[in-house]
Structure 1
Amino acid sequence: MPHDFDADVITAVLHHMNGDHTDDNLLIARAFAEPSDETIDGSVMTGFDGEAGVWEISRGGTMSELRVPWPGGPITERPQVRREVVALYDAACARLGVEPRPHA
């Protein structure tokens, strides 16, 4: 059973991802959704647990859910969430041939 994070942790991460990283959400969706293509025109992170991040994605107005497992495996601590989202971003860049920006 995946680890469930506290509601305040989830709220903070979602606020950050959907406020500061909208382009990253779209990049992750385009890299990991099946089929992987440019027709994905929207992506909002809607949740996560210890196993994966969850995004609601749009293809021309048709919505679906995308669940992407954490690259490093299951997590249980808040700092691990950032590490895994950054790893997903880096993996998405590699899949799509995009130069990743440096991480602070």
Structure 2
Amino acid sequence: MTAFAPEVVDAVLRHMNDDHTDDNLLIARAFVDPSADASTMTGFDGDGGVWEVTTGGTARTASVAWPAGPISERAEVRREIVALYDEACAVLGVEPRSHDR
């Protein structure tokens, strides 16, 4: 398992939890619990992302593996989160948005 530097983890979590709250919820509903009410990304490593998923007022921590398998480079984190988002949209029948920067 690859651990990323704390400043990398903090930057990704800040971005996901400030700018992509809807994506966090889609990922949680697709891969953790279809009835999730809320989801916050709380961490990640080379094996996958970690979310706190709330359903009916009860929160739990859930890990979701990266679609392409383990990663070790910072640049791969965005690719894998985007892939999770795209897979979540496919699972839930939601039209994904463009990933232009």
TM-score scaled by length of structure 1: 0.94
CA distance in 1, matches of 2:93, 2:87: 10
- TM-score under structure 2 normalisation? 0.97
Q: Secondary structure at the match of 1:65?
A: strand
The correspondence of residues 2-81 of structure 1 with structure 2, limited to 5 A, is 2-33=1-32, 36-37=33-34, 39-81=35-77
How big is each residue's C-alpha offset from its partner over 1:61-97, in whole Å with a ceiling of 9 and x where there is no partner? 1010110000011101111000000000000000000
Letter in 2 for 1:86: V
Q: Secondary structure at the match of 1:40?
A: coil
Corresponding residue pairs, total: 100
Q: Counterpart amino acid of 1:10?
A: V
Q: Percent identity between the aligned chains?
A: 63
Residue 26 of structure 1, CA deviation: 0.2
Structure 2 residues not aligned, in runs of 5+: none
In the TM superposition, residue 98 of structure 1 has moved relative to its aligned partner by: 0.4
Q: Deviations over 1:5-59 (max 9, x none)?
A: 00000000000000000000000000001xx42x210100000000010000001
Instruction: State the Cα RMSD in Å.
Output: 0.6
1:85 equivalent in structure 2: 81
